[in-house]
Structure 1
Amino acid sequence: MFDPLLFFIAAAFLLAGFIKGVIGLGLPTVSMGLLAVTMPPAHALAIVIAPAIITNIWQTFVGPYLLGIIKRLWPLMLGTVAGIWLNGGMLTGPYARYGTIVLGVLLMIYAVVGLNKLAFSVARGNEKWIGGIVGLVTGMISAATGVQVIPSMPYMQSIGMEKDELVQALGVYFTAATLGLAYNLTGAGLLNASTALPGMVAMACSFAGMFIGQGVRSRLEPEAFRRWFLIAMIFLGIYLVAIAIYNIARA
């Protein structure tokens, strides 16, 4: 019989891929948020990780800025990998049940920052030490939630990259971060044969959603779509926090 969970996974990644196709980002954030409604973040991340790595690798090599990006972002990437390694037990340890609350709060912060278009500026001479700190914090948060956008995204927007360079930089950075998470998941025994079928469904639906999103991008107003997407993330974050607190209180 058809597993209803597979249908939900397919729908979640179709939507997440569509959003990435329209606005260029959001696949792990959206899919983690949606899957956390039905499963712990650690299990959701085990499904998200393969589509995230593949789509990020593809984004990494679309553009001529790769060498320059690595030279500028290596402290951010190294700090992120270190943070993921240092906080690796959060996905499966005794505090793992609080991961959904943290994820919900991060979705709300991510959305509020995006809606307010908060702008920061980091001087070129300060990039290395600030990037390392931002990476370490992002990695520790990512190890517990699977989401790598806070505070790395505001930081990358603050260092003055051009639009196309920033898009490629996101691919480079998220590739390093998701590979670090994959190492943690493998060590915890969460990447195994049971995640193969959901992972393949997620992969296929991600690319299908991206293809559809790219096709309709020219017909939509990207800024309006982005605004409603961020508003939806706020409500999803509120729901995740509320349901997680309810489940913890009932346990």
Structure 2
Amino acid sequence: MDGLVFVVFALAALVGGFVSGFSGFAMGLVVSGVWLHIISPMQTASLIAGYGLLTQGYGIFKLRKSLDLRRAWPLALGTVIGIPIGVGILSYLNPAYLRLGVGVLLMVYSIYGLARPVFAPIKIGTRADIAIGISNGLLGGLTGLGGVISTISCQWRGWPKDVQRAVFQPVLFVAFVVISLSQIAAGTITKDTAKLYALGVPFMVVGLWSGFRLFGKIDDETFRKTVLALLLFAGVSLIASTLPSLR
């Protein structure tokens, strides 16, 4: 990797870390848009999973006072169940149409949420949370967006921003553990990828730190809108990446 390519790689890691520190998710969305142009898709997937463990672990540590595993475990359990099912189903579906459909739904939901007042809080039970977690894992296995549904469900409950992140970040951490273990078992993590990971860690950490500092200065409504904006970005990204394959 020459100097210019490394600068681009490092800047993407810095911005991805900042977005994750600020919002608690979407690091993979940010970095993949850049890294897929300069490193292989396999390396990109491995790095996103590896850095996901770092970013979500950091978030869990910072929010440890708000952590409530009673709220997080049903979503996490469902996610663990759903990921391999989603991966298995993927071989029987056309991923292009699936990504397009999910992208459109995310755009509609986000635009609607941004255009109207705060949603009325919804009370969700344990069984429903497990089902939501399974859907979350299914979507992760099918599209790579392993935390979208759990993040949305935390918004529905009307929790403060710290509580939301203290629930959906452990779920994301568990998802990245499952993905990383799968990659290790498949032998897709190479020495070159491990070296890239080590080179990018300082930039990712600086981004995380600065993003989390800004998170501490915003109110719940700003956080709600930020999450919706990132979900809108996720929808647009899915659609943009799918359209070329439909032509």
- TM-score where L is the length of structure 2: 0.75
Displacement of 1:237 after TM fit?
Answer: 4.8
Amino acid at match of 2:193: T
Q: Which of 140, 161, 168 is residue 170 of structure 1 equivalent to? A: 168
- C-alpha distance in structure 2 between counterparts of 1:39 and 1:89, whole Å: 26
Name the counterpart of 1:158: 156
- C-alpha distance in structure 2 between counterparts of 1:102 and 1:35, whole Å: 25
Name the counterpart of 1:64: 65
Q: Which moved more, 1:24-33 or 1:43-52?
A: 24-33
Structure 2 unpaired stretches of 5+? none
- C-alpha distance in structure 1 between counterparts of 2:3 and 2:88, whole Å: 30
- C-alpha distance in structure 2 between counterparts of 1:134 and 1:142, whole Å: 12
Q: Does 2:130 correspond to 1:132?
A: yes
Displacement of 1:111 after TM fit?
Answer: 4.5
- C-alpha distance in structure 2 between counterparts of 1:34 and 1:105, whole Å: 23
- C-alpha distance in structure 1 between counterparts of 2:118 and 2:225, whole Å: 14
- Root-mean-square deviation (Å): 3.9
Contact 1:65 1:168 in 2 (8 A): yes
Aligned length: 244
The 1:111–1:186 alpha-carbon spacing in structure 2 relative to 1, beyond 3 Å, is farther
Displacement of 1:82 after TM fit?
Answer: 0.6
Contact 2:56 2:173 in 1 (8 A): yes
Residue pairs, 1:1-251, within 5 angstroms? 2=2, 5-35=5-35, 43-62=43-62, 63-66=64-67, 69-89=68-88, 98=96, 101=100, 108=107, 111-112=110-111, 115-116=114-115, 119=119, 121-123=121-123, 126-214=124-212, 234=232, 237-238=235-236, 241-247=239-245, 249=247
Structure 1 unpaired stretches of 5+? none
User: Among the aligned pairs, what percent are the same residue?
Assistant: 24
Contact 2:19 2:208 in 1 (8 A): yes
The 1:139–1:228 alpha-carbon spacing in structure 2 relative to 1, beyond 3 Å, is closer
Displacement of 1:101 after TM fit?
Answer: 4.9
Displacement of 1:84 after TM fit?
Answer: 0.7
The 1:209–1:112 alpha-carbon spacing in structure 2 relative to 1, beyond 3 Å, is same
SS at match of 1:151: helix
